[in-house]
Amino acid sequence: MNLFETSRQVTVLGAGMVGVSCALALQAKGWSVTLVDQQAPGEETSHGNAGVISRSSLLPFNRPGLWQNLPAMLLRPGPNLKIRPSALSHWQWLWRFLWHAKRSSFEVTTVALDGLIQLSSDTHRAWLKKAHVESRLRDTGWLWLYAHAAAFESGAASREVLQEFGVACEVLNAPSLQALEPHLAPAFSHALWVKDAASVDNPRAVVKAYVAQFLEAGGQLVQSKVIALQQQPSGWQWVNPDGGVHWTPNIVVAMGPWSECLLEASQLQNNFKVNMGFERGYHRHFQPVEGVRLGRPIYDLSGAYVLSPMKDEQGADILRMTTGVELAARDEGSNLQQLECAENAARRVLPMKSAVPGSDWLGARPTTPDSRPVIGEAPNAPGLWLAFGHQHIGFSTGPGTGVLLSELMSKEATSIDPRPFAPQRF
């Protein structure tokens, strides 16, 4: 029997929400865990998101109907989706992503994501409490806002799916929306209040609180860049930029948008290539006008932004505006056009002070062709475990990913069906 099959020692690469969740869940099962990141924990994608944890996220972007809407999306691109020429470097992802916009894939993906989201929500609640930061969670749902009746009608298919899954929602007309969020301008004819949803007031602070919990329970945190992995007769080595090698019986790659390129650099993709794409998104912070507040994140569908009430690192109130999708190469420089459009739209519905200087941020949602994260052991590479590709919902689904991975690694019965997430599907 190989060491990786008996040893309960593991190194987790990447300290975003997904890696930290894997570390916590493995530690809870008695594994001795080292967490490695080139930065402090929670400084990348898991920092910049909108902090929404919602069952409505079971709906992937590539769904039936996408093909019919595609010509209009390409000919008259709206603020929701910008495509830059460098996106073509990921044409294989794009093609496969579109190919999965069919009923059969949609059915598997929605069921799988719903299971992962529910497992994650329960786990988040338990961990927030354990880390003494449960006050960061707001159980007030989130709002999808429609400017006119035709926009509301175009969302009927999504609402039907949410109903099928029993996601608690309430349709609001303009007066009931006004009663719920009195500071919003009367710019919306309808809203969907997704009640099976919560949000946090500072995603980075939550990741850091989970890491503090992990360290308190005896976990190790190492700050180092990882440039390659090497398979050993027994176990794995990860390599740092100085050529230093670090042996471990088991390794988890949870480096979000950087995961697949580490596998490529390590020439570990013989029988396995995910073909990841990057749905980039921006954020900008605003100081709220005194007395003006939102009780929950809002998603303005025509303005193509989410506005989330949050706290900055000093505990002051801020509004974080996040944008729709920009398809581009992961590392291409930023283009502020989408942010500017979103800001113009947001200012029409909520009074806000000026943008917080230096707050502009760009991140890349790491997306697999079928919109399902990769969770499980890499094919033909015993001891190499994968947890990446969480697209728009990795902040919410990190904890469920950690629980599922820890069950698979501990050879236990799993809380949810692992097959839709298995790396073998690629």
Ligand X SMILES: Cc1cc2nc3c(=O)[nH]c(=O)nc-3n(C[C@H](O)[C@H](O)[C@H](O)COP(=O)(O)OP(=O)(O)OC[C@H]3O[C@@H](n4cnc5c(N)ncnc54)[C@H](O)[C@@H]3O)c2cc1C
Site residues for ligand X per CB under 6 A: 14-19, 36-39, 43-46, 48-52, 225-226, 254-258, 281, 283, 322, 363, 365, 388, 390, 392-396
Q: Which is nearer to ligand X, 138 or 179 (CB)?
A: 138
Q: Which is nearer to ligand X, 325 or 409 (CB)?
A: 325
Distance between CA atoms of 37 and 16, rounded to whole angstroms?
A: 9
The two counts, helices (H) then strands (E), for the chain are 13, 23
Q: Which is nearer to ligand X, 138 or 283 (CB)?
A: 283
Q: Which is nearer to ligand X, 96 or 280 (CB)?
A: 280
Distance between CA atoms of 292 and 312, rounded to whole angstroms?
A: 17
Closest separation in Å from C-beta 67 to ligand X: 25
Distance between CA atoms of 85 and 5, rounded to whole angstroms?
A: 45
Helix axes 394-409, 17-28, angle to 10 degrees: 30
Single out the residue of 19, 401, 416 nearest to residue 210, CA to CA.
Answer: 19
Closest separation in Å from C-beta 54 to ligand X: 8
Q: How distant, in Å, are the alpha carbons of 22, 88, 268 from that of 310?
A: 26, 35, 40
Q: Which is nearer to ligand X, 16 or 309 (CB)?
A: 16
Q: Which is nearer to ligand X, 30 or 333 (CB)?
A: 333
Q: Which is nearer to ligand X, 34 or 396 (CB)?
A: 396
Nearest 10 degrees: Cα torsion 209, 52, 82, 88: 60
Kindly report the backbone phi and psi dihedral angles of residue 160, in degrees, each rounded to the nearest multiple of 5, phi listed first: -60, -45
59 C-beta neighbours (distance < 10 Å), count: 20
According to DSSP, the β-strands at 9-13 and 250-253 are parallel
Closest separation in Å from C-beta 333 to ligand X: 16
| Residue 286 neighbours by CB under 8 Å, 6+ apart | 318, 319, 321, 352, 353, 354, 355, 356
